[in-house]
């Protein structure tokens, strides 16, 4: 399940370190406001004995933001997406958002104008294409790799297989990268995150596709990376 939160910002721009940097604290703060034990167990140990956290979100996205070179500008027409393929986690997030009037995102306060639960789209088993709204983070031997690099598809497939295992669903097959955006670099808690938005194709179980749309592709989904449009 996934939810879009409509927001407006009280500042004209975000520092680059605040684009993805606050995401982890925000999502755990929301969960903790409703269920402190759930937030703590996810943070410390992952889900059902696996280190992965079945959580996803975006960085703040702003329509109509004025373009300025080297500046992440904001507008009154902003949005964030949150989601989880686990009903308990998703329900806790929705309850937290319903009781909030703003989201403190780093140095900005994002006033909540409303939110809507995404009921999902009809999907059948078989070939599917997915496109991300935020960069996908993939690593090979502690190095970031980008679409077109050796090991990229292999490591992204490994990530998808691991997520399918956590959800108890068949792993996808036939993964292909159809298109990719430019290399993007962000700083998160003083360390770099390097990735690119992608459009991929795969053969997958419809339930797994629905789960990915609430979780994301690649690593660091709790930092706002890899969210599926």
- pLDDT (tens digit per residue) in 98-120: 999 999 999 999 999 999 999 77
Q: What is the reported pLDDT for 91?
A: 96
* Percent residues over pLDDT 90 in the chain: 90
Q: What is the reported pLDDT for 24?
A: 96
Q: What would the pLDDT profile of 200-212 be if each residue is shown by its tens digit?
A: 999 999 999 999 9
Judged against a pLDDT cut of 70, whether residue 20 lies above it is answered with: yes
> What number is the average pLDDT over the span 159-181?
97
> What number is the average pLDDT over the span 158-178?
97
Q: Do domains 2-118 and 126-223 have the same CATH topology?
A: yes
CATH of range 2-118; options 3.30.70.1890, 3.40.50.300, 1.10.3720.10, 3.30.110.40: 3.30.70.1890
Q: List b or e across 77-104, with b for residues whose CB sees 16 or more CB atoms inside 10 angstroms.
A: ebbbbbbbbbeebbebbbebbeebeebe
Banded model confidence at residue 49, pLDDT cuts 50, 70, 90 = confident
Q: What is the reported pLDDT for 38?
A: 97
> What number is the average pLDDT over the span 24-38?
97
CB-count exposure of residue 141 (10 Å: 0-12, 13-18, 19+): exposed
Helix ranges, 5-83 (H): 17-20, 23-34, 36-45
Q: What is the reported pLDDT for 122?
A: 67
Write down the domain spans for the chain.
2-118, 126-223
Banded model confidence at residue 124, pLDDT cuts 50, 70, 90 = confident
> What number is the average pLDDT over the span 142-164?
97
Candidates 1, 3, 42; CA nearest to 212 is 1
User: Which fold, 126-223?
Assistant: Alpha-Beta Plaits (3.30.70)
d(CA 123, CA 40): 33
């Amino acid at each position: 399940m996934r939810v879009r939160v409509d927001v407006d910002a009280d500042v004209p721009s975000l520092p680059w370190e605040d684009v993805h940097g606050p995401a982890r604290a925000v999502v755990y703060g929301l969960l903790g406001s409703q269920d402190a034990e759930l937030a703590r167990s996810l943070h410390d140990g992952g889900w059902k004995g696996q280190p992965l956290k079945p959580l996803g979100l975006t960085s703040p996205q702003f329509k109509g933001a004025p373009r300025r070179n080297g500046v992440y500008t904001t507008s009154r027409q902003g949005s964030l997406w949150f989601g989880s393929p686990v009903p308990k986690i998703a329900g806790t997030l929705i309850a937290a958002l319903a009781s909030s009037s703003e989201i403190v995102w780093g140095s900005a306060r994002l006033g909540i104008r409303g939110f809507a639960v995404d009921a999902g789209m009809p999907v059948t088993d078989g070939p599917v294409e997915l496109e991300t709204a935020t960069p996908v983070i993939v690593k090979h031997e502690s190095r970031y790799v980008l679409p077109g690099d050796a090991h990229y598809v292999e490591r992204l497939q490994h990530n998808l297989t691991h997520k399918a295992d956590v959800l108890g669903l068949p792993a996808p097959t036939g993964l292909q990268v159809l298109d990719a955006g430019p290399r993007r670099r962000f700083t998160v808690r003083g360390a770099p995150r390097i990735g690119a938005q992608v459009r991929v194709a795969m053969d997958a179980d419809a339930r797994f596709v629905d789960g990915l749309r609430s979780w994301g592709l690649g690593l660091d989904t709790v930092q706002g990376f890899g969210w599926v449009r």
